[in-house]
Protein backbone atom coordinates (compact mmCIF):
# COMPACT_ATOMS: atom_id res chain seq x y z
CA UNK A 1 0.00 0.00 0.00
CA UNK A 2 1.14 3.52 -0.77
CA UNK A 3 3.00 5.09 2.12
CA UNK A 4 0.82 8.20 1.94
CA UNK A 5 -2.32 6.23 2.76
CA UNK A 6 -3.61 6.90 6.26
CA UNK A 7 -5.01 3.76 7.86
CA UNK A 8 -6.96 2.96 11.03
CA UNK A 9 -7.83 -0.23 12.96
CA UNK A 10 -10.81 -1.12 10.73
CA UNK A 11 -8.74 -0.77 7.56
CA UNK A 12 -5.79 -2.57 9.15
CA UNK A 13 -7.85 -5.75 9.53
CA UNK A 14 -8.78 -5.92 5.84
CA UNK A 15 -7.32 -8.97 4.08
CA UNK A 16 -4.67 -8.42 1.41
CA UNK A 17 -6.99 -9.26 -1.47
CA UNK A 18 -9.18 -6.28 -0.55
CA UNK A 19 -6.27 -3.95 0.12
CA UNK A 20 -5.19 -4.35 -3.52
CA UNK A 21 -8.15 -2.17 -4.58
CA UNK A 22 -7.32 0.72 -2.23
CA UNK A 23 -5.56 3.80 -3.57
CA UNK A 24 -4.56 6.95 -1.69
CA UNK A 25 -6.84 9.95 -1.99
CA UNK A 26 -4.61 12.71 -3.37
CA UNK A 27 -6.52 15.81 -2.32
CA UNK A 28 -4.34 18.02 -4.52
CA UNK A 29 -5.92 16.33 -7.56
CA UNK A 30 -9.16 18.22 -6.91
CA UNK A 31 -9.32 21.43 -8.93
CA UNK A 32 -11.27 24.63 -8.20
CA UNK A 33 -13.88 23.50 -10.76
CA UNK A 34 -14.17 20.14 -8.96
CA UNK A 35 -14.76 22.00 -5.69
CA UNK A 36 -17.40 24.19 -7.34
CA UNK A 37 -19.19 21.11 -8.70
CA UNK A 38 -19.21 19.52 -5.23
CA UNK A 39 -20.49 22.74 -3.64
CA UNK A 40 -23.28 23.22 -6.19
CA UNK A 41 -24.52 19.62 -5.90
CA UNK A 42 -24.37 19.63 -2.10
CA UNK A 43 -26.14 22.98 -1.77
CA UNK A 44 -28.89 21.84 -4.12
CA UNK A 45 -29.13 18.45 -2.44
CA UNK A 46 -29.30 19.71 1.12
CA UNK A 47 -31.90 22.29 0.13
CA UNK A 48 -34.08 19.75 -1.67
CA UNK A 49 -33.33 16.59 0.28
CA UNK A 50 -34.17 18.24 3.59
CA UNK A 51 -37.76 17.89 2.38
CA UNK A 52 -37.73 14.49 0.65
CA UNK A 53 -34.91 12.41 2.18
CA UNK A 54 -35.15 10.11 5.18
CA UNK A 55 -34.44 12.08 8.33
CA UNK A 56 -31.19 10.18 8.87
CA UNK A 57 -29.63 11.97 5.88
CA UNK A 58 -29.07 15.47 7.27
CA UNK A 59 -28.09 14.12 10.69
CA UNK A 60 -25.67 11.78 8.97
CA UNK A 61 -23.99 14.59 7.03
CA UNK A 62 -22.98 16.15 10.34
CA UNK A 63 -22.00 12.87 11.99
CA UNK A 64 -19.81 11.73 9.10
CA UNK A 65 -17.90 14.99 8.75
CA UNK A 66 -19.10 15.78 5.23
CA UNK A 67 -19.00 19.49 4.46
CA UNK A 68 -21.06 21.34 1.91
CA UNK A 69 -18.33 23.80 0.95
CA UNK A 70 -15.45 21.35 0.42
CA UNK A 71 -14.90 17.92 -1.08
CA UNK A 72 -14.35 15.69 1.95
CA UNK A 73 -10.96 14.36 2.88
CA UNK A 74 -11.29 10.66 3.45
CA UNK A 75 -8.78 10.81 6.25
CA UNK A 76 -10.88 13.37 8.07
CA UNK A 77 -14.01 11.32 7.39
CA UNK A 78 -12.33 8.23 8.81
CA UNK A 79 -11.62 9.86 12.12
CA UNK A 80 -15.33 10.61 12.45
CA UNK A 81 -16.63 7.40 10.89
CA UNK A 82 -14.57 5.44 13.38
CA UNK A 83 -16.88 6.71 16.12
CA UNK A 84 -19.80 4.87 14.49
CA UNK A 85 -17.73 1.76 13.76
CA UNK A 86 -17.04 2.37 10.07
CA UNK A 87 -14.19 3.46 7.82
CA UNK A 88 -13.81 4.66 4.22
CA UNK A 89 -11.24 3.86 1.54
CA UNK A 90 -10.61 5.30 -1.92
CA UNK A 91 -10.70 3.09 -5.03
CA UNK A 92 -10.44 3.57 -8.78
CA UNK A 93 -14.00 3.51 -10.16
CA UNK A 94 -16.07 0.33 -10.16
CA UNK A 95 -14.52 -2.67 -8.44
CA UNK A 96 -15.88 -6.25 -8.78
CA UNK A 97 -19.25 -6.66 -7.01
CA UNK A 98 -18.09 -9.42 -4.64
CA UNK A 99 -15.14 -7.28 -3.51
CA UNK A 100 -17.40 -4.24 -3.07
CA UNK A 101 -19.71 -6.27 -0.85
CA UNK A 102 -16.88 -7.85 1.11
CA UNK A 103 -15.62 -4.38 2.04
CA UNK A 104 -19.10 -3.70 3.48
CA UNK A 105 -18.86 -6.91 5.51
CA UNK A 106 -15.79 -5.40 7.18
CA UNK A 107 -17.68 -2.12 7.89
CA UNK A 108 -15.61 -0.30 5.27
CA UNK A 109 -17.23 2.07 2.80
CA UNK A 110 -15.70 2.04 -0.68
CA UNK A 111 -15.44 5.51 -2.21
CA UNK A 112 -14.45 6.24 -5.79
CA UNK A 113 -12.43 9.37 -5.07
CA UNK A 114 -12.71 10.93 -8.54
CA UNK A 115 -15.44 13.52 -9.08
CA UNK A 116 -17.77 13.99 -12.02
CA UNK A 117 -17.17 16.61 -14.67
CA UNK A 118 -19.19 19.81 -14.70
CA UNK A 119 -20.89 18.53 -17.87
CA UNK A 120 -22.26 15.57 -15.87
CA UNK A 121 -23.14 17.51 -12.74
CA UNK A 122 -26.65 16.04 -12.45
CA UNK A 123 -25.76 12.38 -12.94
CA UNK A 124 -22.89 10.16 -13.98
CA UNK A 125 -22.87 6.38 -14.44
CA UNK A 126 -19.35 6.40 -12.99
CA UNK A 127 -19.04 6.05 -9.21
CA UNK A 128 -17.58 9.24 -7.79
CA UNK A 129 -17.04 10.96 -4.46
CA UNK A 130 -20.39 12.76 -4.69
CA UNK A 131 -22.22 9.46 -5.11
CA UNK A 132 -20.21 7.55 -2.53
CA UNK A 133 -19.32 10.24 0.00
CA UNK A 134 -22.48 12.34 -0.08
CA UNK A 135 -24.79 9.43 -0.91
CA UNK A 136 -23.69 6.35 1.04
CA UNK A 137 -21.83 7.80 4.01
CA UNK A 138 -24.55 9.92 5.68
CA UNK A 139 -27.10 7.11 5.88
CA UNK A 140 -24.73 4.67 7.60
CA UNK A 141 -24.86 6.95 10.63
CA UNK A 142 -28.24 5.26 11.20
CA UNK A 143 -27.25 2.10 13.15
CA UNK A 144 -30.14 -0.03 11.87
CA UNK A 145 -29.27 0.76 8.26
CA UNK A 146 -25.53 0.36 8.91
CA UNK A 147 -26.13 -3.17 10.18
CA UNK A 148 -28.19 -3.94 7.07
CA UNK A 149 -25.32 -2.72 4.90
CA UNK A 150 -22.78 -4.82 6.81
CA UNK A 151 -24.98 -7.89 6.73
CA UNK A 152 -25.67 -7.40 3.04
CA UNK A 153 -21.94 -7.36 2.39
CA UNK A 154 -21.41 -10.46 4.50
CA UNK A 155 -24.03 -12.43 2.57
CA UNK A 156 -23.49 -10.80 -0.82
CA UNK A 157 -19.79 -11.59 -1.06
CA UNK A 158 -20.68 -15.30 -0.74
CA UNK A 159 -23.07 -15.17 -3.72
CA UNK A 160 -21.95 -17.36 -6.60
CA UNK A 161 -21.24 -15.51 -9.84
CA UNK A 162 -21.24 -16.61 -13.45
CA UNK A 163 -18.68 -15.87 -16.13
CA UNK A 164 -21.25 -13.51 -17.68
CA UNK A 165 -21.41 -11.48 -14.45
CA UNK A 166 -17.75 -10.57 -14.76
CA UNK A 167 -18.23 -9.71 -18.43
CA UNK A 168 -21.07 -7.36 -17.45
CA UNK A 169 -18.92 -5.80 -14.71
CA UNK A 170 -16.07 -5.12 -17.15
CA UNK A 171 -18.47 -3.65 -19.74
CA UNK A 172 -20.20 -1.38 -17.21
CA UNK A 173 -16.86 -0.26 -15.81
CA UNK A 174 -15.63 0.68 -19.30
CA UNK A 175 -18.93 2.42 -20.13
CA UNK A 176 -18.77 4.52 -16.96
CA UNK A 177 -15.17 5.51 -17.73
CA UNK A 178 -15.85 6.43 -21.36
CA UNK A 179 -18.99 8.44 -20.53
CA UNK A 180 -17.18 10.41 -17.85
CA UNK A 181 -14.03 11.02 -19.91
CA UNK A 182 -13.76 14.19 -21.96
CA UNK A 183 -13.93 13.92 -25.73
CA UNK A 184 -14.90 10.25 -26.02
CA UNK A 185 -16.25 9.69 -29.57
CA UNK A 186 -19.99 9.06 -29.49
CA UNK A 187 -19.49 5.94 -31.61
CA UNK A 188 -17.34 4.41 -28.84
CA UNK A 189 -20.00 5.17 -26.22
CA UNK A 190 -22.77 3.79 -28.46
CA UNK A 191 -20.82 0.58 -29.02
CA UNK A 192 -20.18 -0.14 -25.34
CA UNK A 193 -23.74 0.89 -24.40
CA UNK A 194 -25.04 -1.67 -26.90
CA UNK A 195 -22.75 -4.31 -25.42
CA UNK A 196 -24.01 -3.58 -21.90
CA UNK A 197 -27.61 -3.63 -23.11
CA UNK A 198 -27.11 -6.92 -24.97
CA UNK A 199 -25.45 -8.55 -21.96
CA UNK A 200 -28.14 -7.36 -19.57
CA UNK A 201 -30.95 -8.45 -21.90
CA UNK A 202 -29.43 -11.88 -22.54
CA UNK A 203 -31.91 -14.41 -21.13
CA UNK A 204 -30.17 -17.50 -22.48
CA UNK A 205 -29.15 -18.53 -18.97
CA UNK A 206 -30.64 -18.21 -15.51
CA UNK A 207 -29.35 -15.20 -13.56
CA UNK A 208 -26.69 -16.11 -11.02
CA UNK A 209 -26.97 -15.51 -7.29
CA UNK A 210 -24.67 -12.52 -7.69
CA UNK A 211 -26.85 -11.06 -10.44
CA UNK A 212 -29.95 -11.40 -8.26
CA UNK A 213 -28.41 -10.00 -5.10
CA UNK A 214 -26.95 -7.11 -7.10
CA UNK A 215 -30.52 -6.29 -8.10
CA UNK A 216 -31.49 -6.19 -4.42
CA UNK A 217 -28.49 -3.95 -3.74
CA UNK A 218 -29.49 -1.60 -6.55
CA UNK A 219 -33.13 -1.28 -5.46
CA UNK A 220 -32.22 -0.67 -1.81
CA UNK A 221 -28.70 0.65 -1.14
CA UNK A 222 -28.53 2.59 -4.42
CA UNK A 223 -32.10 3.47 -5.39
CA UNK A 224 -34.22 2.75 -2.34
CA UNK A 225 -37.23 4.66 -1.04
CA UNK A 226 -38.63 4.32 2.47
CA UNK A 227 -42.04 5.02 4.00
CA UNK A 228 -45.28 4.44 2.15
CA UNK A 229 -45.92 4.08 -1.58
CA UNK A 230 -48.06 7.22 -1.37
CA UNK A 231 -45.51 9.29 0.57
CA UNK A 232 -41.98 7.85 0.24
CA UNK A 233 -38.68 9.36 1.36
CA UNK A 234 -35.26 8.84 -0.23
CA UNK A 235 -32.46 6.80 1.34
CA UNK A 236 -30.68 5.23 -1.67
CA UNK A 237 -27.25 6.70 -2.43
CA UNK A 238 -27.84 6.91 -6.18
CA UNK A 239 -30.83 9.16 -5.57
CA UNK A 240 -29.25 11.15 -2.75
CA UNK A 241 -26.30 12.04 -4.97
CA UNK A 242 -28.22 12.93 -8.15
CA UNK A 243 -29.82 16.37 -8.23
CA UNK A 244 -31.72 15.33 -11.34
CA UNK A 245 -33.01 11.91 -10.37
CA UNK A 246 -33.80 12.81 -6.76
CA UNK A 247 -36.43 15.20 -8.12
CA UNK A 248 -37.54 12.93 -10.97
CA UNK A 249 -38.13 9.97 -8.67
CA UNK A 250 -40.69 11.89 -6.63
CA UNK A 251 -42.94 12.48 -9.64
CA UNK A 252 -45.70 10.24 -10.96
CA UNK A 253 -43.43 9.35 -13.88
CA UNK A 254 -41.77 6.77 -11.60
CA UNK A 255 -43.88 3.83 -10.46
CA UNK A 256 -43.58 3.10 -6.72
CA UNK A 257 -43.80 -0.55 -5.67
CA UNK A 258 -43.75 -2.18 -2.22
CA UNK A 259 -40.32 -3.70 -1.62
CA UNK A 260 -40.18 -7.50 -1.40
CA UNK A 261 -38.03 -10.37 -2.64
CA UNK A 262 -39.40 -9.99 -6.17
CA UNK A 263 -37.11 -6.98 -6.55
CA UNK A 264 -34.28 -9.51 -7.01
CA UNK A 265 -35.76 -10.36 -10.40
CA UNK A 266 -36.13 -6.75 -11.56
CA UNK A 267 -33.08 -5.80 -13.65
CA UNK A 268 -31.78 -2.24 -14.00
CA UNK A 269 -30.01 -0.02 -16.52
CA UNK A 270 -27.36 2.31 -15.11
CA UNK A 271 -27.51 4.58 -18.18
CA UNK A 272 -31.19 5.54 -17.87
CA UNK A 273 -33.57 7.08 -15.36
CA UNK A 274 -35.29 4.31 -13.41
CA UNK A 275 -38.91 3.67 -14.50
CA UNK A 276 -39.85 2.13 -11.14
CA UNK A 277 -38.55 2.18 -7.58
CA UNK A 278 -39.24 0.05 -4.52
CA UNK A 279 -40.45 1.40 -1.17
CA UNK A 280 -39.58 -0.32 2.11
CA UNK A 281 -41.74 0.52 5.14
CA UNK A 282 -38.64 0.72 7.37
CA UNK A 283 -35.01 -0.38 7.52
CA UNK A 284 -35.89 -3.53 9.48
CA UNK A 285 -37.91 -4.77 6.51
CA UNK A 286 -34.77 -4.61 4.34
CA UNK A 287 -33.09 -7.13 6.61
CA UNK A 288 -36.11 -9.45 6.53
CA UNK A 289 -36.05 -9.55 2.73
CA UNK A 290 -32.28 -10.06 2.73
CA UNK A 291 -32.62 -13.08 5.03
CA UNK A 292 -35.45 -14.43 2.89
CA UNK A 293 -33.18 -14.21 -0.15
CA UNK A 294 -30.19 -15.70 1.71
CA UNK A 295 -32.33 -18.71 2.64
CA UNK A 296 -32.55 -19.50 -1.09
CA UNK A 297 -28.80 -19.17 -1.70
CA UNK A 298 -26.47 -22.14 -1.99
CA UNK A 299 -24.74 -20.66 1.04
CA UNK A 300 -27.63 -22.06 3.10
CA UNK A 301 -29.18 -24.73 0.89
CA UNK A 302 -26.03 -26.54 -0.23
CA UNK A 303 -26.97 -29.77 -2.01
CA UNK A 304 -26.43 -30.77 -5.61
CA UNK A 305 -27.67 -27.45 -6.98
CA UNK A 306 -25.10 -25.58 -4.89
CA UNK A 307 -22.24 -27.69 -6.23
CA UNK A 308 -23.53 -27.30 -9.80
CA UNK A 309 -23.62 -23.49 -9.37
CA UNK A 310 -19.96 -23.55 -8.35
CA UNK A 311 -19.02 -25.74 -11.31
CA UNK A 312 -20.87 -23.41 -13.68
CA UNK A 313 -19.12 -20.37 -12.20
CA UNK A 314 -15.68 -21.78 -13.13
CA UNK A 315 -14.33 -19.74 -10.24
CA UNK A 316 -12.88 -20.35 -6.80
CA UNK A 317 -15.55 -21.52 -4.40
CA UNK A 318 -16.14 -23.56 -1.26
CA UNK A 319 -18.27 -26.55 -0.39
CA UNK A 320 -18.97 -27.27 3.28
CA UNK A 321 -19.95 -30.74 4.43
CA UNK A 322 -22.13 -31.60 7.40
CA UNK A 323 -19.09 -32.17 9.64
CA UNK A 324 -18.00 -28.57 9.04
CA UNK A 325 -15.05 -29.49 6.82
CA UNK A 326 -14.72 -27.01 3.96
CA UNK A 327 -13.21 -27.76 0.55
CA UNK A 328 -12.05 -24.67 -1.35
CA UNK A 329 -11.00 -24.77 -4.99
CA UNK A 330 -12.33 -24.67 -8.53
CA UNK A 331 -15.01 -27.37 -8.72
CA UNK A 332 -15.10 -29.18 -12.04
CA UNK A 333 -17.13 -32.37 -11.51
CA UNK A 334 -19.86 -33.85 -9.38
CA UNK A 335 -21.25 -37.39 -9.50
CA UNK A 336 -24.87 -37.48 -8.47
CA UNK A 337 -27.49 -40.07 -7.74
CA UNK A 338 -31.20 -39.43 -7.12
CA UNK A 339 -30.61 -35.70 -7.03
CA UNK A 340 -27.85 -35.87 -4.42
CA UNK A 341 -24.09 -35.35 -4.83
CA UNK A 342 -22.17 -38.56 -4.07
CA UNK A 343 -18.69 -37.43 -5.17
CA UNK A 344 -17.12 -33.98 -5.53
CA UNK A 345 -14.02 -33.02 -7.46
CA UNK A 346 -11.87 -29.92 -7.82
CA UNK A 347 -9.07 -29.26 -10.30
CA UNK A 348 -5.90 -27.42 -9.39
CA UNK A 349 -5.00 -25.80 -6.08
CA UNK A 350 -7.34 -26.80 -3.27
CA UNK A 351 -7.34 -26.18 0.48
CA UNK A 352 -9.21 -27.84 3.33
CA UNK A 353 -10.54 -25.81 6.25
CA UNK A 354 -12.78 -26.08 9.27
CA UNK A 355 -14.76 -23.06 10.46
CA UNK A 356 -12.94 -20.75 8.05
CA UNK A 357 -9.52 -21.81 9.34
CA UNK A 358 -7.23 -23.85 7.10
CA UNK A 359 -6.39 -27.31 8.43
CA UNK A 360 -2.71 -27.76 9.19
CA UNK A 361 -1.03 -29.69 6.39
CA UNK A 362 -3.90 -29.24 3.92
CA UNK A 363 -2.92 -26.10 2.07
CA UNK A 364 -2.80 -25.51 -1.69
CA UNK A 365 0.77 -26.77 -1.99
CA UNK A 366 -0.25 -30.15 -0.55
CA UNK A 367 -3.45 -30.35 -2.64
CA UNK A 368 -1.90 -28.71 -5.70
CA UNK A 369 -3.45 -31.11 -8.23
CA UNK A 370 -7.02 -31.01 -6.99
CA UNK A 371 -9.16 -32.92 -4.52
CA UNK A 372 -11.97 -35.45 -4.69
CA UNK A 373 -14.10 -37.23 -2.14
CA UNK A 374 -17.35 -39.09 -1.49
CA UNK A 375 -20.39 -37.53 0.14
CA UNK A 376 -23.06 -39.54 1.95
CA UNK A 377 -23.54 -42.61 4.07
CA UNK A 378 -22.09 -46.09 3.77
CA UNK A 379 -24.28 -48.66 2.03
CA UNK A 380 -26.54 -50.60 4.35
CA UNK A 381 -25.52 -48.63 7.45
CA UNK A 382 -27.92 -46.06 8.84
CA UNK A 383 -25.24 -44.48 11.00
CA UNK A 384 -23.10 -41.99 9.08
CA UNK A 385 -19.34 -42.10 9.69
CA UNK A 386 -19.45 -38.64 11.30
CA UNK A 387 -22.00 -39.88 13.85
CA UNK A 388 -20.10 -43.01 14.83
CA UNK A 389 -18.63 -43.34 18.29
CA UNK A 390 -15.07 -44.69 18.70
CA UNK A 391 -16.61 -48.10 19.38
CA UNK A 392 -18.73 -47.92 16.20
CA UNK A 393 -15.71 -46.93 14.12
CA UNK A 394 -13.70 -49.86 15.42
CA UNK A 395 -16.60 -52.21 14.78
CA UNK A 396 -16.65 -51.22 11.11
CA UNK A 397 -12.82 -51.45 10.86
CA UNK A 398 -12.48 -47.70 10.48
CA UNK A 399 -9.39 -47.72 12.61
CA UNK A 400 -5.74 -46.71 12.22
CA UNK A 401 -3.51 -49.37 10.67
CA UNK A 402 -6.37 -51.47 9.27
CA UNK A 403 -7.13 -52.05 5.60
CA UNK A 404 -10.72 -51.32 4.79
CA UNK A 405 -13.11 -51.04 1.86
CA UNK A 406 -15.81 -48.44 2.39
CA UNK A 407 -18.80 -48.77 0.08
CA UNK A 408 -20.80 -45.56 -0.09
CA UNK A 409 -24.30 -45.00 -1.37
CA UNK A 410 -23.95 -43.93 -4.98
CA UNK A 411 -21.57 -46.78 -5.79
CA UNK A 412 -18.42 -45.01 -4.59
CA UNK A 413 -15.83 -47.34 -3.03
CA UNK A 414 -12.73 -46.33 -1.10
CA UNK A 415 -10.20 -49.14 -0.49
CA UNK A 416 -6.95 -48.63 1.38
CA UNK A 417 -5.04 -48.72 4.65
CA UNK A 418 -6.10 -46.08 7.16
CA UNK A 419 -3.20 -43.95 8.36
CA UNK A 420 -5.01 -41.55 10.67
CA UNK A 421 -8.16 -39.54 11.25
CA UNK A 422 -8.74 -35.87 12.04
CA UNK A 423 -11.50 -34.82 14.43
CA UNK A 424 -13.11 -31.47 15.13
CA UNK A 425 -13.49 -30.05 18.63
CA UNK A 426 -16.83 -31.79 19.02
CA UNK A 427 -15.10 -35.13 18.42
CA UNK A 428 -16.54 -35.80 14.97
CA UNK A 429 -14.30 -37.40 12.37
CA UNK A 430 -13.88 -34.84 9.58
CA UNK A 431 -10.99 -36.35 7.61
CA UNK A 432 -9.58 -39.86 7.12
CA UNK A 433 -6.20 -40.38 5.43
CA UNK A 434 -5.35 -43.59 3.52
CA UNK A 435 -2.26 -45.07 1.89
CA UNK A 436 -2.24 -47.58 -0.96
CA UNK A 437 -5.74 -46.35 -1.75
CA UNK A 438 -8.03 -46.88 -4.75
CA UNK A 439 -11.25 -44.90 -5.20
CA UNK A 440 -13.84 -45.95 -7.78
CA UNK A 441 -17.28 -45.04 -9.03
CA UNK A 442 -18.53 -48.40 -10.29
CA UNK A 443 -15.69 -49.36 -12.66
CA UNK A 444 -14.33 -45.83 -13.14
CA UNK A 445 -11.13 -45.18 -11.18
CA UNK A 446 -11.14 -41.81 -9.42
CA UNK A 447 -7.93 -42.22 -7.39
CA UNK A 448 -5.01 -44.63 -7.75
CA UNK A 449 -2.47 -45.78 -5.11
CA UNK A 450 0.51 -44.36 -7.02
CA UNK A 451 -0.91 -40.84 -6.63
CA UNK A 452 0.07 -40.88 -2.95
CA UNK A 453 -1.90 -40.34 0.23
CA UNK A 454 -5.69 -40.16 -0.19
CA UNK A 455 -7.38 -37.73 2.18
CA UNK A 456 -11.09 -38.35 2.43
CA UNK A 457 -13.28 -35.52 3.69
CA UNK A 458 -16.09 -36.91 5.85
CA UNK A 459 -19.67 -35.69 5.53
CA UNK A 460 -23.07 -37.18 4.86
CA UNK A 461 -24.29 -34.14 2.89
CA UNK A 462 -23.33 -30.79 1.39
CA UNK A 463 -24.77 -28.13 3.66
CA UNK A 464 -23.31 -25.05 1.99
CA UNK A 465 -21.70 -23.83 -1.23
CA UNK A 466 -20.43 -20.31 -1.68
CA UNK A 467 -18.10 -18.08 -3.65
CA UNK A 468 -14.49 -17.67 -2.58
CA UNK A 469 -12.28 -19.60 -0.17
CA UNK A 470 -13.22 -20.61 3.37
CA UNK A 471 -9.95 -19.16 4.69
CA UNK A 472 -8.93 -16.02 2.76
CA UNK A 473 -5.30 -16.77 3.56
CA UNK A 474 -5.34 -20.10 1.72
CA UNK A 475 -5.07 -18.59 -1.76
CA UNK A 476 -3.19 -15.74 -3.37
CA UNK A 477 -6.12 -13.48 -4.25
CA UNK A 478 -4.02 -10.39 -4.94
CA UNK A 479 -4.49 -10.64 -8.67
CA UNK A 480 -7.03 -8.02 -9.72
CA UNK A 481 -6.01 -6.33 -12.94
CA UNK A 482 -8.88 -4.18 -14.29
CA UNK A 483 -9.21 -4.06 -18.05
CA UNK A 484 -9.69 -0.28 -17.94
CA UNK A 485 -8.48 2.70 -15.92
CA UNK A 486 -10.30 5.93 -15.17
CA UNK A 487 -9.34 8.76 -17.51
CA UNK A 488 -8.32 12.08 -15.97
CA UNK A 489 -9.53 15.37 -17.45
CA UNK A 490 -7.18 16.72 -20.10
CA UNK A 491 -5.03 19.72 -19.20
CA UNK A 492 -4.91 22.72 -21.52
CA UNK A 493 -4.04 26.42 -21.32
CA UNK A 494 -7.72 27.32 -21.67
CA UNK A 495 -8.70 24.89 -18.89
CA UNK A 496 -5.94 26.19 -16.60
CA UNK A 497 -7.09 29.76 -17.17
CA UNK A 498 -10.68 28.82 -16.29
CA UNK A 499 -9.50 26.94 -13.18
CA UNK A 500 -7.66 30.12 -12.08
CA UNK A 501 -10.87 32.13 -12.40
CA UNK A 502 -12.78 29.58 -10.29
CA UNK A 503 -9.98 29.69 -7.72
CA UNK A 504 -10.17 33.49 -7.57
CA UNK A 505 -13.91 33.48 -6.85
CA UNK A 506 -13.45 30.77 -4.22
CA UNK A 507 -10.71 32.83 -2.55
CA UNK A 508 -12.87 35.98 -2.59
CA UNK A 509 -15.76 34.06 -1.02
CA UNK A 510 -13.42 32.77 1.72
CA UNK A 511 -11.85 36.18 2.33
CA UNK A 512 -8.46 35.23 0.90
CA UNK A 513 -6.14 37.02 -1.51
CA UNK A 514 -7.47 36.36 -5.03
CA UNK A 515 -5.31 38.36 -7.41
CA UNK A 516 -8.44 39.36 -9.35
CA UNK A 517 -11.50 41.48 -8.68
CA UNK A 518 -14.95 40.02 -9.29
CA UNK A 519 -15.29 42.35 -12.27
CA UNK A 520 -11.99 41.12 -13.70
CA UNK A 521 -13.11 37.50 -13.41
CA UNK A 522 -16.47 38.18 -15.05
CA UNK A 523 -14.87 40.05 -17.96
CA UNK A 524 -12.38 37.25 -18.58
CA UNK A 525 -15.13 34.65 -18.30
CA UNK A 526 -17.32 36.38 -20.90
CA UNK A 527 -14.46 36.89 -23.34
CA UNK A 528 -12.62 33.57 -23.03
CA UNK A 529 -15.01 30.95 -21.65
CA UNK A 530 -18.45 31.72 -23.10
CA UNK A 531 -19.92 28.24 -22.47
CA UNK A 532 -19.24 28.07 -18.73
CA UNK A 533 -22.29 28.71 -16.55
CA UNK A 534 -21.43 27.66 -12.99
CA UNK A 535 -18.85 30.37 -12.31
CA UNK A 536 -21.33 33.08 -13.35
CA UNK A 537 -23.79 31.65 -10.80
CA UNK A 538 -21.09 31.82 -8.10
CA UNK A 539 -20.29 35.41 -9.13
CA UNK A 540 -23.99 36.30 -8.84
CA UNK A 541 -24.03 34.82 -5.34
CA UNK A 542 -21.09 36.99 -4.21
CA UNK A 543 -22.54 40.15 -5.78
CA UNK A 544 -25.91 39.52 -4.15
CA UNK A 545 -24.26 39.21 -0.74
CA UNK A 546 -22.41 42.49 -1.39
CA UNK A 547 -25.68 44.20 -2.40
CA UNK A 548 -24.07 45.13 -5.71
CA UNK A 549 -26.64 46.78 -7.97
CA UNK A 550 -24.26 47.64 -10.80
CA UNK A 551 -22.50 44.44 -11.87
CA UNK A 552 -25.13 41.99 -10.61
CA UNK A 553 -27.76 42.96 -13.25
CA UNK A 554 -25.11 42.45 -15.96
CA UNK A 555 -24.30 38.98 -14.65
CA UNK A 556 -27.98 38.03 -14.48
CA UNK A 557 -28.53 39.28 -18.02
CA UNK A 558 -25.52 37.26 -19.16
CA UNK A 559 -26.99 34.15 -17.51
CA UNK A 560 -30.38 34.78 -19.19
CA UNK A 561 -28.65 34.88 -22.56
CA UNK A 562 -26.66 31.75 -21.68
CA UNK A 563 -29.92 29.89 -20.95
CA UNK A 564 -31.10 30.70 -24.46
CA UNK A 565 -27.74 29.73 -25.95
CA UNK A 566 -27.48 26.51 -23.88
CA UNK A 567 -31.05 25.35 -23.11
CA UNK A 568 -29.80 22.04 -21.68
CA UNK A 569 -28.25 23.84 -18.70
CA UNK A 570 -31.02 26.43 -18.25
CA UNK A 571 -32.60 24.48 -15.37
CA UNK A 572 -29.20 24.19 -13.66
CA UNK A 573 -28.70 27.95 -13.87
CA UNK A 574 -32.21 28.50 -12.51
CA UNK A 575 -31.51 26.02 -9.73
CA UNK A 576 -28.38 27.87 -8.69
CA UNK A 577 -30.08 31.26 -8.77
CA UNK A 578 -33.01 29.89 -6.78
CA UNK A 579 -30.63 29.05 -3.94
CA UNK A 580 -29.34 32.63 -3.98
CA UNK A 581 -32.54 34.63 -4.31
CA UNK A 582 -35.44 32.46 -3.20
CA UNK A 583 -34.03 30.20 -0.48
CA UNK A 584 -31.99 30.60 2.63
CA UNK A 585 -28.42 29.95 1.52
CA UNK A 586 -27.02 26.80 3.16
CA UNK A 587 -23.53 27.45 4.49
Instruction: Please enumerate, by residue number, every residue annotated as part of a binding site for Fe cation.
Output: 131, 136, 222
Q: How far apart are CA 503 and CA 521, in angstroms?
A: 10
Q: How far apart are CA 150 and CA 15, in angstroms?
A: 16
CA angle 295, 224, 293 (to 5 degrees): 5
Q: Which of 543, 536, 576 is nearest to 557 (CA)?
A: 536
Binding site membership: which residues? 131, 136, 222
CA angle 260, 261, 266 (to 5 degrees): 95
CA angle 422, 299, 103 (to 5 degrees): 100
Long-range contacts of 522-529 (CB under 8 A, 24+ apart): 522/551, 522/554, 522/555, 522/558, 524/497, 525/498, 525/501, 526/558, 528/494, 528/497, 528/498, 529/494, 529/497, 529/498, 529/501
Q: Which of 523, 329, 324 is nearest to 430 (CA)?
A: 324
Question: Rg (Cα) of the chain, in Å, rounded?
Answer: 29
Cβ neighbours for 93, distance < 8 A, ≥ 6 positions apart: 112, 114, 126, 127, 173, 176, 177, 482, 485, 486
Q: How far apart are CA 257 and CA 278, in angstroms?
A: 5
Amino acid sequence: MDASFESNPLIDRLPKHLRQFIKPQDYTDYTPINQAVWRYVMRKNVDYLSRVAHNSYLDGLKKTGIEIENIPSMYGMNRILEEIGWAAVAVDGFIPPNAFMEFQAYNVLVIASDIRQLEHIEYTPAPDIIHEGAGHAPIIANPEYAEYLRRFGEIGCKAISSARDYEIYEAIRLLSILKEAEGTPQADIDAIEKKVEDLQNDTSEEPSEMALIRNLHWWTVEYGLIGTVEDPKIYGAGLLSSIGESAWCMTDNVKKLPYDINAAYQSFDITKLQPQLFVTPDFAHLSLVLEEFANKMALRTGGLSGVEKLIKSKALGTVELSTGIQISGVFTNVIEENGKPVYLQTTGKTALSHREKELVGHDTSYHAEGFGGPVGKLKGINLAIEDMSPRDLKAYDIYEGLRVTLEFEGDITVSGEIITGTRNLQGKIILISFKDCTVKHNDTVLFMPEWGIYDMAVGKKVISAFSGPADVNSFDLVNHVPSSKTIKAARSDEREALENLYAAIRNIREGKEAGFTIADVFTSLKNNHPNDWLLSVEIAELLHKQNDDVLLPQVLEYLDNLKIKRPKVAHLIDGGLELIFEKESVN
